[in-house]
């Protein structure tokens, strides 16, 4: 929050040459941390400030996991290219998605376009050492065909003792420091989908994260709520909130006819976040998302309240947010170091086993007594 608006505009202009005058209006929004974001001009991509970093990122981010769902690499690459052409700059990924497949896809898609995007990936130590984290960083950079990340986040803060393990001596936070020092990442953060209490613990322990990623949707608003408990604290600290799971992680609520995809994305984008990361497994979904972004009008507070109220009855037992209550969204490589069972019905597990487990995965080490 140290930058004044003029500095910020300068940075913004440098990062996103195409940013229009209309979009400049968005810039004051993130600093407030509370106000609803302003609108985008017709046909424009919307850009927002990434917390105290001052960097502008597109308000819509392309989720890395779904890149692995395309029938072919070419189709996934095409999605990335179309998104970039439409002005999307924020690209999400993760070391462990589909055993590296999605980082490889994104690396291929970004050839010649690396400087047009804000590239994030995540590290998957899950309580293990900073040394392992740095090995993972090298793998990610190689797969993504770049010499640096814009953002490197700790993936999967989803178990009760993850904060404690991350902050342990020799743990992953030391790797974040070193990666920044070596210029291999510009910014750092963490991500998790399980429990606001774990996020708050990560924040309380005091590391100066640049970003914090969390599930944000109208069901979350009344069940173990990141929106209520974590997002205000993230903004208070001048960090950037990154939203995910705007559809609830599954399309279950949409299939039941309770909500529509467009209103869900609009809700998520109306929250005080820098970007909303959306998994897109077809060009159709990208186009649908772009329709929401172009000419974006944030929901009014009463619109948001009405949607929260509509979702509250079915939100109350967590049925439409399975990532908070089951292991369904805890990647198998998240579970293994923690000793949780893996789910043999998951495609990712089958792929992992097919590859003969992960040779770089050390045997389960017990957390320090």
Give residues in contact with another protein (CB under 8 A).
127, 159-162, 164, 223, 314, 316-319, 322, 325-328, 338-341, 343-345, 366-369
Which residues is 243 bridged to in the sheet?
214, 276
In the complex with another protein, which residue's Cβ is closer, 43 or 368? 368
Of the candidates 258, 249, 303, 301, the one whose C-alpha atom is nearest the C-alpha of residue 277 is: 249
In the complex with another protein, which residue's Cβ is closer, 33 or 332? 332
Instruction: Return the structure tokens found at 356.
Output: 């003969």
CB of 324 to another protein, least distance (A): 10
CB of 161 to another protein, least distance (A): 4
CA dist 356 → 128, 298, 338, 349 (Å): 21, 48, 19, 11
Contact 122, 209 (CB under 8 A): no
Start-to-end C-alpha separation, the chain: 39
CB of 326 to another protein, least distance (A): 4
In the complex with another protein, which residue's Cβ is closer, 282 or 346? 346
* Burial call 214-235: b when 16+ CB within 10 Å, e when fewer: bbbbbbbbbbbbbbebbbebbb
In the complex with another protein, which residue's Cβ is closer, 66 or 338? 338
Q: Within its chain, how far is the Cα of 56 from the centroid?
A: 16
In the complex with another protein, which residue's Cβ is closer, 69 or 164? 164
Contact 76, 285 (CB under 8 A): no
In the complex with another protein, which residue's Cβ is closer, 299 or 327? 327
Task: Please give the DSSP secondary-structure letter assigned to residue 214.
Answer: E
In the complex with another protein, which residue's Cβ is closer, 291 or 364? 364
CB of 224 to another protein, least distance (A): 8
In the complex with another protein, which residue's Cβ is closer, 32 or 326? 326
Contact 221, 315 (CB under 8 A): yes
Cα Dmax for the chain: 57
CB of 159 to another protein, least distance (A): 4
In the complex with another protein, which residue's Cβ is closer, 21 or 369? 369
CB of 341 to another protein, least distance (A): 6
* Burial call 47-77: b when 16+ CB within 10 Å, e when fewer: bbbbbbbbbbbbbbbbbbbbbbebeeeeebb
CB of 249 to another protein, least distance (A): 12
142 Cβ neighbours under 8 A, 6+ residues apart: none
CB of 235 to another protein, least distance (A): 26
Residue 11's φ and ψ, nearest 5 degrees, are: -60, -45
The region that residue 248 occupies, defined by phi over 0 for left and psi between -120 and 50 for alpha, beta otherwise, is left
CB of 191 to another protein, least distance (A): 17
CB of 165 to another protein, least distance (A): 9
Angle subtended at Cα 185 by Cα 184 and Cα 190, rounded to the nearest 5 degrees: 135
In the complex with another protein, which residue's Cβ is closer, 48 or 338? 338
């Amino acid at each position: 929050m140290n930058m004044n608006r003029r500095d910020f505009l300068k940075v913004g202009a440098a990062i996103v040459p195409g940013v229009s005058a209309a979009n400049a209006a968005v810039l004051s929004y993130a600093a407030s941390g509370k106000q609803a974001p302003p609108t985008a001009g017709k046909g424009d991509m919307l850009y927002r400030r990434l917390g105290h970093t001052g960097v502008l990122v597109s308000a819509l981010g392309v989720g890395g996991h779904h890149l692995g769902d395309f029938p072919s690499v070419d189709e996934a690459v095409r999605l990335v290219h179309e998104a970039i052409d439409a002005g999307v700059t924020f690209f999400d990924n993760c070391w462990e998605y589909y055993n590296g497949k999605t980082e490889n896809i994104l690396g291929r898609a970004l050839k010649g376009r690396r400087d047009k995007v804000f590239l994030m990936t995540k590290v998957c130590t899950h309580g293990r050492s900073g040394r392992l984290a740095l090995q993972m960083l090298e793998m990610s950079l190689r797969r993504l065909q770049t010499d640096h990340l814009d953002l490197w986040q700790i993936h999967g803060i989803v178990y009760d003792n993850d904060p404690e393990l991350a902050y342990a001596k020799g743990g992953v936070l030391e790797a974040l420091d070193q990666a920044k020092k070596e210029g291999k990442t510009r910014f750092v953060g963490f991500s998790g989908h399980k429990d606001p209490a774990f996020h708050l613990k990560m924040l309380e322990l005091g590391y100066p994260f640049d970003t914090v990623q969390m599930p944000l949707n109208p069901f979350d608003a009344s069940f173990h709520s990141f929106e209520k408990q974590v997002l205000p604290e993230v903004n208070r600290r001048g960090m950037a909130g990154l939203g995910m799971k705007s559809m609830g992680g599954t399309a279950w609520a949409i299939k039941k006819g309770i909500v529509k995809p467009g209103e869900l994305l609009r809700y998520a984008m109306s929250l005080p976040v820098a970007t909303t990361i959306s998994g897109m497994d077809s060009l159709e979904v990208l186009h649908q998302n772009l329709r929401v972004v172009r000419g974006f009008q944030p929901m009014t507070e009463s619109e948001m309240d009405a949607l929260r109220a509509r979702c509250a009855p079915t939100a109350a037992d967590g049925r439409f947010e399975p990532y908070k209550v089951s292991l369904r969204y805890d990647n198998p490589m998240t579970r293994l170091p923690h000793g949780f069972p893996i789910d043999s019905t998951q495609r990712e597990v089958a792929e992992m086993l097919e590859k003969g487990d992960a040779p770089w995965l050390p045997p389960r080490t017990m957390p320090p007594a």
